[in-house]
Amino acid sequence: MKARPLSIEGAWEFTPVQHGDDRGVFLEAFKADVLAEAIGDRFELAQVNTSVSAAGVVRGIHFADVPPGQAKYVTCTVGAIVDVIVDIREGSPTFGQWDTVLLDDRDRRAVYLAEGLGHGFCSLQDGSTVTYLCSTGYRPSAEHGVNPLDDDLGIEWPTLARDGTPLEYELSVKDTAAPSLVQALADGLLPSFTGSGTGEAPV
């Protein structure tokens, strides 16, 4: 498995080695030692989530209160998504910046994002199935969001589905009503850069 740091501190891409023959394919989708070596810490698994999305569905940008925050290891087992990691950490040198990785059932990559980072994705085909390994359990009162279509954030969401047809975005009511990044900052919702996946104590 190959590890590649993304442009946002605390975010990584992992590409597995696939072993295929006439029967199909085998791969190691998650390796704790490879992840620990990359991020410099042990990933504590507390919950595994799965979502299935139609083409054009946008989920996110989601994040959890820090502490404790919620680190995620995300892969797409069926279909394809454009996965987006956003630096929403107040005081970060890359605050407001984002990076993307294509996760699909061909290359079978995964992404890791540390506590305090924002996460979302756009499905590129019907039935795209995403699995999230999470370091903490879901706590509704600690979950927040930033509007994924925030003009100032300027995420370049894909415009075409995997089959080349135009995408029509579909968001949940909650994600549609989520504040802009600037508003979330003004409202005190965003985590601090110090301690958000940086190896320092959270503040």
Catalytic hit among 19, 62, 119, 138: 62
Say whether 19 is catalytic: no
Q: Give one DSSP letter per residue of 18-61, joined into a string.
A: EEEETTEEEE----HHHHHHHHTS-----EEEEEEE-TTBEEEE
Domain boundaries 44-186, CATH class: mainly beta
Say whether 62 is catalytic: yes
Tens digit of each residue's pLDDT (9 = 90 or more) over 63-85: 999 999 999 999 999 999 999 99
Catalytic hit among 73, 112, 119, 132: 132
Residue 199: pLDDT band (50, 70, 90) is very low
Q: Are 98 and 155 in contact (CB under 8 A)?
A: yes
Residue 194: pLDDT band (50, 70, 90) is confident
Domain ranges of the chain: 44-186
Tens digit of each residue's pLDDT (9 = 90 or more) over 133-182: 999 999 999 999 999 999 999 999 999 999 999 999 999 999 999 999 99
User: Is residue 201 predicted with pLDDT exceeding 50?
Assistant: no
